[in-house]
Amino acid sequence: MPTEKIADQTFEEIPVAEEPVEEKYFTFGKFKLKQKMIWSVGGGLAGLLIVLLILASLLKKPSVSPKQAQPATPTPTPFEEEITSPSIYATDSAILKIEADLKTIDQDIQSTDLKEVGLNPPVLDMEVEFEE
Amino acid sequence: MKRFLPIFGFVVLFSIAILLNCYIATYAQEFDFNRAYDDYIYTYSQYRVAHSEYVSAKQAYLNYKTLTSKTEAQDKTLKMLEWRDEVIKTYLTALRLKLAETTGISNYEQNVLYLKLDSEVSWYIKHHDALSSAGSLEDLIDSAEESQSKYQETEVLIYQALGTILSGKETALRQRLNQQMESLKNKIAEIREKGDKKTTVAERWLLEAENRLTRSLEKQSAAQQILTKIKPYDSNKNQSYNQAQFALEESHQYLKEANLNLRELIREVKSAD
């Protein structure tokens, strides 16, 4: 058998006949779109969406806990706030004394117990009967 | 050693005497409302125990009608009635001490109520002592009826005393506010004379505060009226007392507003025109 001739043969150089790649298409009514193009556009859009979501979560304001979200209880106008344009009586000793006294009275008014529940009369069984 | 024994004994006796004296002095000093109230709470808990025992003994007697169950019922009824008198007595004592501690009550009003309360306490002490002399269950039932009828009068006094305590608190606060109002009036008059600051707004606000104090007094008087109308045979004494209490709460609201007005007034005076 002529084996030498076989050894010289280079199989790599043999031109391989390329099979024609069949392009796949999606059809939407009249339009005919390449499947590859749809995948690349869809992937791009999904990537953009993910990036947008990440950005949105980063830029979002810190969430408020339900406890903080509760409406604040109304408080009376604070009188202690600084007076921007004081009169000559702003440092008057008599006025300051009355102011301090009124503050003390206010505290006493707030803490006054007008119910005195503990002093309600005892519940007693006043009827002693031995009849059915 | 033996000769030191009498000295040692004397020192021990002397120390005991001093300690006893201190204890008595402390007890006498500390018999205030809080102590009286604790006594009342303790007595009330004892009454509740005695009452539940009485209910059981009564049920047993009604079921079996035996002499043993009747004797048991008599014992438990006596015990319950004794504790009931004791509860009323300690409660009235606590009320008396609360009256003594409350400012804003006139001396006359206080003394009248003291006399009435003392008289009630004496009645319940006598009644309590008489209970033990009851010879039968029937005697005890009669004695309990006396107490039941007396308690209707006592209740009127209780509600009036309670109303006086609450009114006293209001009066004391209003007196303090009136004092401050007078001081402010004088100060504003002084400023007006000097002419270095406009006083029109301050004077108007002063009138507003004054009106609030008047309304507060009116509501307090209305509460007193309700309390004086309570009669021993009224079945809804508690309801009348609640109405009076509500009127006093309204009076208190006016005091709050008057105080707020005066504080705003101060701020006005402290601010430049």
pLDDT digits (tens, 9 = 90+) for B141-170: 999 999 999 999 999 999 999 999 999 999
The yes-or-no verdict on residue B4 having pLDDT over 70 is no
Q: By mean pLDDT, which of A23-27, B32-36, B173-177 is the weakest?
A: A23-27
CB-nearest partner of B272 from A86, A119, A122: A86
Please give the residue of chain B at the shortest CA–CA distance from A132: B62
pLDDT of residue A98: 96
pLDDT tens for chain A, 132 residues long, are: 444 455 555 555 555 555 555 556 666 565 566 677 777 777 888 888 888 888 877 765 444 444 444 455 555 555 566 788 899 999 999 999 999 999 999 999 999 999 999 999 999 999 998 887
What is B66-94 written as a DSSP string? Answer: -HHHHHHHHHHHHHHHHHHHHHHHHHHHH
Between the two ends of chain A, the Cα-to-Cα distance in Å is 134
Rg (CA), chain A: 46
Q: Does B144 touch chain A (CB under 8 A)?
A: yes
Residue A32: φ, ψ to 5°: -125, 110
Q: Which residues of A touch B164 (CB under 8 A)?
A: none
Q: 3-state class of A130 per DSSP?
A: coil
Average pLDDT for B50-63: 96
Q: Which of A128, A129, A131, A132 to mutate to test the interface with B (most CBs of B within 10 A)?
A: A128
User: Are B67 and A88 contacting, i.e. CB atoms less than 8 angstroms apart?
Assistant: no
User: Are A119 and B169 contacting, i.e. CB atoms less than 8 angstroms apart?
Assistant: no
